[in-house]
Amino acid sequence: MSFNQTALQACFFFIFLAFSASWTGAAPSGSISTTPNFVVIFIDDLGYGDIQPAPFGSTINETPNLNRMAAEGMVLSSFYVGAPVCTPSRAALMTGCYPIRVGLAKGSGHAVLFPGDTHALNPDEVTIAEMLKAAGYATGCYGKWHLGDADGFLPTDQGFDEYFGIPYSNDMWPGHSSWPFPGLPIMRDKEVVDEVKTMEDQATLCRRFTEAAVDFIRSNKDTPFFVYLPHAFVHNPRAASPDFMAKAKDATEGEIEEVDWSVGQILQTLRDEGLAENTLVIFTSDNGAAPGCSSGVLRGRKGDAWEGGVREPTLAWWPGRIPAGSTSDEIMTAMDLLPTFAKLSGAAVPQDHVIDGKDITDLLLGKEGATTPHDRVYYHKGTTLHAVRSGPWKCFRNGELYNLEEDLSETTDVSAAHPEIVARLTGYIQEFEAEIAAHARPVGIVTNPRTLLPRPGVEGEAAYTPTLFLQSSKKVPKKKAAAQD
């Protein structure tokens, strides 16, 4: 063989390699060559206007890590959670279902679950963690659970290999002004290993949960994993780590900026371990802005069926898969994560009961022409269905109608000009209520409930009486108490 022939063959060989590499990089959207990891960062009470990336647009809080996440990934500007308060929103995320379908549209006697509650997420439900664990994933939960604090209903009973966090909201502690709460436990798996006793303890929660999640990622870098990081921040009472408090004007700003730091720690760990291009990360909040936080341009806040109650500041990041610097205003929901993770991982979606979430893989991967799989989404407050959205139209059950594409702040009721749309959407409300009545599933029931820690100053078994079995020990209006839930 001559030198020229050898050189020519070598040339063709390298051209082939280059072509192969470019073809692999241009694989069709949704074609995943390896099993991806999943990270869901779920902030508590963060509002639509609390982070900097457009269109959220905070001018108060510095969020450089979220800014970078948005620049490297996708902004989801019409992303909804299942409810405007904690427990039902988390139930929707974990099960892919409207909270009312799984019996957790509210707690047993309040808007959310309380310490020692008789209700919890039913173990018969299939969570994201259970679905992925069955597909060979390592699963870890770090932070606020709020779906049941009794044995049999904790994260390690619901598909997580390990858990480190608090079982319910961080304001459910003896420092609350209206309720006789027990101590606030920090748990590892099923054991109470520490207690949040002071505001200084509160300030450590973001860092501790972040560090636990980082350790889990590093320990499981050689196997597919699912990390659920439901922060206690930025729920009241608020106190950030000293470094963040020192440069913030108040505790709210300090906590939001520490949450941003947490995101940076997670993403940098993924980069350092060579996992970034095989990991989908979702950042969002469990409900709209609590007092002190911002709904931005949206009307309403936590607890409302207005957009400010359930439309969340959301980012998706997956280098090389999600188009960098992209934005989608298509309707997506937290319920969609379960079927989407199933599609991407090859895990089996539960087939024996209704799932309300839809696969949004094509939207996340930026497939040309992809549109929302939802022809309608519903807004609940507790067990009451308040409104429905279909396309640009949002209709309340009282007949008020808003065009969200033209009037995102819901300032102008246009029902008089569009009676046919009001009739169609109120019909959707009636249809859904009838469907739920036929296909709702039971809530989990706790027998012999008791709190994990005692109430201060109470002796014996009475110290472990479930909070809702007791009347408020102080004459503070319950409306004030509910604002903290």
Angle between helices 86-95 and 337-345 (to 10 degrees): 30
Around Cβ 462, how many Cβ atoms within 10 Å?
Answer: 10
Q: Record the tokens describing residue 144, joined without a space.
A: 């606020």
| Distance, first Cα to last Cα, the chain | 80
3-state secondary structure of 139: strand
| Of 289, 296, 297, 304, the residue nearest 396 (C-alpha) | 304
Per the annotation, the verdict on 146 as an active-site residue is yes
Per the annotation, the verdict on 86 as an active-site residue is yes
Phi, psi (degrees; rounded to nearest 5) at 441:
-115, 160
DSSP bridge partners of 445:
119
Q: Given 97, 119, 141, 146, which residue is catalytic?
A: 146
Angle between helices 251-272 and 64-72 (to 10 degrees): 50
Can you say how many angstroms the Cα of residue 119 is from the centroid of all Cα atoms in its chain?
Answer: 21
- In b/e form, how buried is each residue of 162-171, taking b as 16+ CB within 10 angstroms? bbbbbbbbbb
Can you say how many angstroms the Cα of residue 148 is from the centroid of all Cα atoms in its chain?
Answer: 17
3-state secondary structure of 328: strand
Alpha-carbon Rg for the chain, nearest whole angstrom, is 23
Give the residue carrying structure tokens 């002071």.
Answer: 198
Q: Given 86, 141, 293, 395, which residue is catalytic?
A: 86
Residue 193 contacts residue 186 (beta carbons within 8 Å): yes
CA dihedral 461, 462, 468, 469 (to 10 degrees): 110
Q: Record the tokens describing residue 394, joined without a space.
A: 């949002």
What's the half-sphere exposure (Cβ side, CA atoms, 13 Å) at 241? 15
Q: Record the tokens describing residue 470, joined without a space.
A: 């007791």
Report the distance separating Cα 56 and Cα 48, nearest Å. Answer: 6
Report the distance separating Cα 17 and Cα 21, nearest Å. Answer: 6
Residue 38 contacts residue 227 (beta carbons within 8 Å): yes
The residues carrying an active-site annotation are: 86, 146
